Structure 1
Amino acid sequence: MKSVPVAATQIPPPHKKTVYPHPFASRVAGRTKRKLGDHFGLTNFGVNLTELAPGAFSALLHHHSKQDEFVYVLEGTPTLVLDKKEHVLKPGDCVGFKAGDGVAHQLVNRSREPVIYLEVGDRTEGDETSYPYDDLKALFVKGSWQLAHKDGRPY
Structure 2
Amino acid sequence: MRVNEADVDWTTTEHGETAFRRKKLAAAAGGERLGCSLYELPPGRKSWPFHYHTGNEEALYVLAGSGQLRTPDGTDSLASGDYVTFPVGEDGGHRVINDGDEPLRYLALSTMDDPDVTVYPDSDKIGIYAGSAPGSDDERIVEGYYRRGDDVDYWLDEG
TM-score of the alignment, normalized to the shorter chain, above 0.5: yes
Alpha-carbon contact 1:32-1:51 (below 8 Å) kept: yes
Which residue matches 1:44? 33
Report the counterpart of residue 113 of structure 1 in structure 2.
102
Q: Return the letter of the residue paired with 1:60.
A: P
Query: Are residue 12 (structure 1) and residue 9 (structure 2) matched?
Result: yes
| Percent identity of equivalent pairs | 25
Q: Matched residues in 2 for 1:74 and 1:106: separation?
A: 17
CA shift digits 1:58-101 (9 cap, x unpaired): 11011111110010000000201112511111111110011124
Question: If the length of structure 1 is used for normalisation, what is the TM-score?
Answer: 0.82
Instruction: Judge conservation of contact 2:3–2:29 (CA < 8 Å) in 1.
Output: no
Aligned to 2:155: none
1:146 partnered with 2:144: yes
Dislocated runs of 4+, deviation >6 Å: none
2:53 is aligned with 1:67: no
The equivalences for 1:66-85 within 5 A come to 66-85=55-74
Give the aligned CA root-mean-square deviation in angstroms: 2.0
Q: Which moved more, 1:49-58 or 1:94-103?
A: 94-103
The superposition leaves residues 32-67 of structure 1 with CA deviations (integer Å, 9 ceiling, x where unpaired) of 110001101211121000000011111101111111
Q: Aligned to 1:133, what secondary structure does the other structure show?
A: coil
Structure 2 regions of 5+ residues with no counterpart? 133-139, 152-159
Deviation at 1:122, TM superposition (A): 1.2
Inter-partner Cα distance in structure 1 for 2:56 and 2:25: 18
Q: Which residue of 2 aligns with 1:95?
A: 84
Please say if residues 47 and 120 of structure 1, whose CA atoms lie closer than 8 Å, have aligned partners that are also in contact: yes
C-alpha contact 1:64 1:102 (8 A) present in aligned 2 = no
Q: Tell me the number of residue pairs that the alignment of Structure 1 and Structure 2 aligns.
A: 142
| Structure 1 letter corresponding to 2:29 | F
In structure 2, what is the Cα distance between the partners aligned to 1:91 and 1:139? 33
CA distance in structure 1 between the aligned counterparts of 2:103 and 2:57, rounded to whole angstroms:
25
Per the normalisation by structure 2, the TM-score is 0.80
Q: In structure 1, the residue corresponding to 2:10 is in which secondary structure?
A: coil
Q: Any unmatched runs of 5+ in structure 1?
A: 19-24
Q: Which deviates more, 44-53 or 84-93?
A: 84-93
Query: For 2:16, which of 26, 35, 46 is the aligned residue?
Result: 26
Which of the two has higher C-alpha Rg?
A: 2
